Homo-oligomer: A and B are copies of this chain.
Amino acid sequence: MALKLEPGARLVVATHNPGKARELAAILDGRFTIVTAGDLGLGEPEETEATFSGNALLKARAAADASGLIALADDSGLSVAALDGAPGVYSARWAGPDKDFALAMRKVEERLDASGSEDLSAWFTCALALAWPRGPAVVVEGRVDGALTFPGRGDKGFGYDPIFTPEGERLTFGEMDPAAKDAMSHRARAFAKLKAAVL
């Protein structure tokens, strides 16, 4: 089986978040018919892995095998050098059940203060996995390096965007227009790699 996505293929996106599914569909240029794991009534597997790629693969594999369709999943987050890569794969979990990223960003600042380190280096990672039912999977990662910025600035992004300034930029991800962020984001880089591999 060749690892190619034919135009018109039906893809299941391993998310229960319709906003995220729409966003992924847009990135894929409308070339595919997209259904979500939620649409199909699929469960959400536990994210047991210690790496972004591992979790993306786990989610794509589960959705593909349960649906019989080619499945796309992502996993992404913020890693802070002075915190040995935390929150990393726990980025969403630091925000708690209410997805309170103001809380999560305070936690990053507190841990950094407690560490005594002055190193503000941080990076966002996005892993994407595309899995064929009971077949192979393709996994890619995109990464963007930058610096933590306190206090956070901007309300255009989501998650940890207000406290992250990409290398060579003056604006935080929270201050950037979506198009500017999309031109350099970890997610954009991951999609570029995925498209190069399978389209």
Q: Which residues of A contact B (CB under 8 A)?
A: 1-3, 48-51, 53-54, 57-58, 61, 135-140, 193-194, 196-198
Contact = CB atoms under 8 A, between A and B. Distances in A.
B51 A138 contact: no
Nearest to A129: B139
A137 B3 contact: no
B54 A136 contact: no
Give 4 closest A-B pairs by Cβ, nearest first. A54-B54, A48-B50, A136-B197, A136-B140
A58 B57 CA distance: 12
Contact of A49 (B1, B49, B193): B49
5 contacts: A49-B49, A49-B54, A51-B54, A136-B196, A137-B138
Contacts of A51: 48-49, 54, 57-58
Given A3-B197, A50-B50, A53-B54, 7 more contacts: A3-B138, A3-B198, A49-B49, A53-B57, A136-B138, A136-B193, A137-B140
A81 B101 CA distance: 39
Contacts of A3: 3, 138, 197-198
Contacts of A136: 138-140, 193-194, 196-197
Nearest to A198: B3
Q: Which one of A51, A140, A198 has the highest number of Cβ atoms from chain B below 10 Å of its Cβ?
A: A51
A107 to B, nearest CB: 22
Nearest to A131: B139
A53 B137 contact: yes
